[in-house]
Amino acid sequence: MPIFPSASLRSSVVSRLRAAGCVFAEDEARILLSAAASPAGLAAMVRSRADGRPLEHVVGWAEFAGLRIAVDPGVFVPRRRSEFLAATATALTSPGAVVLDLCCGSGALGAAVAAAAAHPVELYAADIDPGAVRCARRNLAGVAAGVFEGDLFAALPADLRGRVDVLIANVPYVPTGDIGLLPPEARLHEARPALDGGADGLDVLRRVVAEAPRWLAPGGSLLFETSERQAPTALAVTGAAGLTAVEQWQEDLDATVVSATLR
């Protein structure tokens, strides 16, 4: 049961968050006030947020594509820019399409596609992080045909090979040398394997692209997010694997998505 804050309490929370450097203090205060079950709980949440924990870890959920996605401490927080990846993938689904959310994290992308598709899809998800898999199983309960734990395609049942129509792979793509430049919320509180993409940020993508043709159905597509700077190399990697790729950019979210199709 949420508490009913007075104007002075709301103002106090905003001031505390602003002093801690929270840019969107008013919005965060609203979320914290709605999530707290008691004044003591609110105080603990505000203290935790002011100490630098991600808001989503503090309240236990993130808003993504109109859904409330459970996010446990340490699990990668779904970014709003990835809503473009979800929308692009959704547009490629057809009735009964087999959709795979690889490197699924909390399962936000798979959940968004399943919710937005105009018809039922056969959804699978996988991640190497046990904590992320636990979150994904909660978020995809009743939606996914299976959520698996393991290293990329090694986690999947063999009978998925050659059947995947839409493969969403939101791989880590931050170059190792840039990890230290990330905001503390990500750098200190999210699992490093969910962020670190190797020397140029594309190590995990190369592994996915190398195996994707064996898992995609004829005409199936691999979709992934990347940065504008990395896109030319990412396109070259997909082309070398025999995939026909196109790059799309969404201005409002500053999001770059590559769609690579097996012909």
> pLDDT grade, residue 5 (50/70/90)?
low
User: Which residues does 127 contact at the CB level (< 8 Å), separation at least 6?
Assistant: 103, 104, 105, 133, 136, 149, 155
Burial of 177: CB neighbours in 10 Å, binned 0-12, 13-18, 19+:
exposed
Whole-model pTM: value is 0.91
Q: Please provide the average confidence, as pLDDT, over all residues in the chain.
A: 94
126 token code pair? 């996988």
CA-to-CA separations, 82 to 26, 88, 112, 162, 249, in angstroms, rounded: 24, 10, 10, 26, 12
149 token code pair? 């734990």
Please write the tens of the pLDDT for every residue from 8-25: 888 888 998 899 888 889
- Output the pLDDT for position 21: 87
Please write the tens of the pLDDT for every residue from 64-92: 999 999 999 999 999 999 999 999 999 99
How many percent of the chain have pLDDT more than 70? 98
Choice among 20-24, 102-106, 152-156, 226-230 with the minimum mean pLDDT: 20-24
With b for 16 or more beta-carbon neighbours within 10 A and e for fewer, the 216-245 pattern comes to bbeebbbbbbbbeebbeebbebbeebebeb
Amino acid making up residue 222: L
Tokens 């939101």 sit at which residue? 170
For 225, phi then psi, to 5°, come to -95, 145
Does the pLDDT at position 3 exceed 80? no
Does the pLDDT at position 2 exceed 70? no
Mean pLDDT, residues 17-39: 89
For the chain, count helices (H), then strands (E). 10, 9
In three-state secondary structure terms, 54 is coil
Burial of 251: CB neighbours in 10 Å, binned 0-12, 13-18, 19+:
exposed
Report how far apart the first and last C-alpha atoms of the chain are (Å, whole number): 53
How many percent of the chain have pLDDT more than 90? 84
Nearest CA to 111 among 75, 88, 136? 136
For 92, phi then psi, to 5°, come to -95, -5
Does the pLDDT at position 93 exceed 80? yes
- Output the pLDDT for position 22: 86
Please write the tens of the pLDDT for every residue from 96-148: 999 999 999 999 999 999 999 989 999 999 999 999 999 999 999 999 899 99
